[in-house]
């Protein structure tokens, strides 16, 4: 087996892994449905099955060739989500002997899925891994952790898990961390709104040019998944036409953006217009060893060079991509300027701008097709979407190296370096 792997760790710079001869063969995502929109009636398991089947088809790999399945899902938005990785594996058509695993690094989970897939291959535990991230945020439940014990009279106790996903109870809500970064990096409301406006416009231009067509697998209005000896699964979209395009992007103006009130602190600058959208969706990708690629004559879209994660102060969690990117680039003996395209998740406009300032990025290389401010951020999905988008951008622009990176609630960052094949 020709794969090689080198891990590293530092108390100051985080942890990381370098790979040689591990590839992303192909991947697909759903269009992202807006909050309470077309996909809000579909369980995350079914969305994951749909993209996993599409990714396998696009890769030309039979499901029976998959050795492991690794999935990410942050909000357990259906009663069978305890079984989500295994059900995705079985209904996607993988062998009954292929085990399935759930990973969780909140907003960085999609990158973690791909990194864990590469690690399993490097350890000789797989040749082919199916990775999936899926979240139906519209279905994040209201829960009662004390109902089984009973309520005091007139005092029912329920928690909104969607809000809790956006709130760090040990520090501050996620949006407040972006406001803190705006202060730290002297970002004005005008700059932050201008970035959001640019994200929407860049997305619109890429969409009009058909850039996302090869990335998206349309979700039909309704469907059924079957697997041998298992009960069929049925799903139905809220939209009777199904969903083939991202629902969250919107036409806007700087005047409209500037009229919105700050959400998380009196002076902002974070508003609903310059933050990522709450959306529903899934994405899947096939990761394989070089030996398998060559033996089967496959044409991968990219090579995984390495990935890293790092911890940061929870009050400025959005700066997490900076140490993660610096760490993996140093390990690869690369500079910031050696990377041709960056996909840094736009959790908040102030947050991604702070990262760009800290890294001294050329913003012409950053999120060139727009980002989560435009199309939304389904928590467990985004990392895979970032990796697929940056690889397709490298192919379109005839460039070589890309970074997929995200900040992570609670104070972490994650980054992956990929190379166009």
- What are the residue ranges of helices labelled H in 259-334? 290-295, 321-331
pLDDT in tens, 255-296: 999 999 999 999 899 999 999 999 999 999 999 999 999 999
**Residue 35 token pair:** 């909050």
pLDDT higher than threshold 80 for residue 222:
yes
pLDDT score, position 319: 98
pLDDT score, position 154: 87
The whole-angstrom separation of Cα 194 and Cα 197 is 5
The domain made up of 305-420 has a fold known as Peroxisomal Thiolase; Chain A, domain 1 (3.40.47)
Catalytic pick from 81, 132, 355, 407? Answer: 407
User: What counts of helices (H) and strands (E) characterise the chain?
Assistant: 12, 16
The H or E element containing residue 192 is helix 189-208
Res. 2 pLDDT band, cuts 50 70 90: confident
Task: Collapse the DSSP code of 410 into the 3-class scheme (helix H, G, I; strand E, B; otherwise coil) and give the result.
Answer: coil
pLDDT score, position 145: 92
pLDDT in tens, 334-366: 999 999 999 999 999 999 999 999 999 999 999
What residue has token string 């969706």?
A: 281
pLDDT higher than threshold 90 for residue 4:
no
Q: How far is CA 102 from the centre of its chain?
A: 15
**407 assigned to active site:** yes
- DSSP labels for 104-152? --GGGHHHHHHHHHHHHHHTTS-SEEEEEEEEEGGGPPEE-SSGGG---
Q: Which residues contact 131 (CB under 8 A, 6 or more apart)?
A: 69, 70, 71, 113, 114, 116, 117, 284, 285, 286, 287, 384
Res. 310 pLDDT band, cuts 50 70 90: very high
Q: Which residues contact 213 (CB under 8 A, 6 or more apart)?
A: none
- DSSP labels for 334-376? --GGG-SEEEE--SBHHHHHHHHHHHT--GGGBSBTB-HHHH-
DSSP 314: G
pLDDT score, position 53: 98
Q: What's the Cα-to-Cα distance from 328 to each of 151, 351, 401, rounded to whole Å?
A: 50, 20, 13
Q: Where are the domains positioned within the chain?
A: 6-140+214-245+277-295, 305-420
Catalytic pick from 81, 107, 132, 237? Answer: 107
Neighbours of 244 (CB within 10 A): 14
Q: Which residues contact 255 (CB under 8 A, 6 or more apart)?
A: none
**107 assigned to active site:** yes
pLDDT in tens, 43-94: 999 999 999 999 999 999 999 999 999 999 999 999 999 999 999 999 999 9
Pick the CATH number of 6-140+214-245+277-295 from 1.20.120.1730, 3.40.47.10, 3.40.630.30, 3.40.50.1700: 3.40.47.10
**Residue 364 token pair:** 């012409």
Q: Which residues contact 38 (CB under 8 A, 6 or more apart)?
A: 219, 237, 238, 239, 242, 243, 247
How does the average pLDDT of the chain come out, rounded? 96
């Amino acid at each position: 087996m020709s794969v090689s792997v080198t891990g590293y760790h530092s108390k100051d710079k985080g942890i990381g892994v370098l790979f040689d001869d591990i590839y992303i063969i192909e991947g697909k995502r759903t269009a992202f449905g807006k909050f309470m929109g077309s996909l809000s009636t579909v369980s995350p398991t079914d969305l994951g099955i749909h993209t996993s089947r599409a990714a396998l088809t696009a890769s030309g790999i039979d499901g029976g060739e998959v050795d492991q399945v690794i999935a990410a899902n942050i909000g357990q938005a259906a009663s069978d989500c305890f079984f989500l990785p295994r059900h995705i594996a079985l209904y996607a058509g993988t062998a009954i002997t292929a085990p399935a695993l759930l990973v969780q690094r909140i907003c960085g989970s999609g990158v973690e899925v791909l990194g864990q897939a590469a690690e399993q291959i490097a350890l000789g535990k797989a040749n082919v891994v199916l990775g999936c991230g899926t979240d139906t945020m519209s279905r994040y439940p209201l829960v009662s952790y004390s109902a089984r014990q009973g309520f005091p009279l007139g005092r029912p106790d329920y928690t909104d898990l969607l809000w809790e996903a956006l709130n760090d109870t040990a520090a501050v809500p996620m949006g407040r961390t972006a406001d803190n970064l705006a202060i730290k990096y002297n970002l004005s409301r005008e700059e932050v709104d201008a970035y959001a406006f640019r994200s929407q416009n860049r997305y619109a231009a890429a969409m009009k040019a058909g850039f996302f067509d090869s990335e998206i697998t349309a979700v039909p209005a309704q469907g059924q998944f079957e697997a041998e000896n298992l009960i069929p699964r049925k799903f139905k979209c809220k939209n009777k036409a199904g969903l083939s395009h991202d629902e969250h992007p919107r036409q806007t103006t700087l005047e409209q953006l500037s009229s919105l009130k700050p959400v998380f602190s009196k002076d902002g600058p974070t508003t609903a217009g310059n933050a990522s959208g709450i959306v529903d969706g899934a994405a899947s990708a096939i990761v394989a060893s070089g030996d398998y690629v060559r033996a089967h004559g496959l044409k991968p879209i990219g090579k995984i060079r390495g990935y890293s994660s790092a911890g940061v102060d929870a009050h400025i969690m959005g700066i997490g991509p900076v140490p993660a990117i610096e760490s993996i680039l140093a390990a690869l003996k690369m500079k910031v300027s050696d990377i041709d395209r960056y996909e840094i998740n736009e959790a908040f406009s102030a947050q991604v701008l702070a990262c760009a300032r800290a890294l001294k990025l050329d913003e012409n290389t950053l999120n060139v097709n727009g980002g989560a401010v435009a199309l939304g951020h389904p928590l467990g999905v985004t990392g895979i979407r970032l990796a697929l988008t940056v690889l397709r951008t490298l192919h379109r622009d005839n460039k070589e190296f890309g970074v997929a990176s995200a900040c992570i609630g609670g104070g972490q960052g994650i980054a992956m370096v990929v190379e166009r094949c």
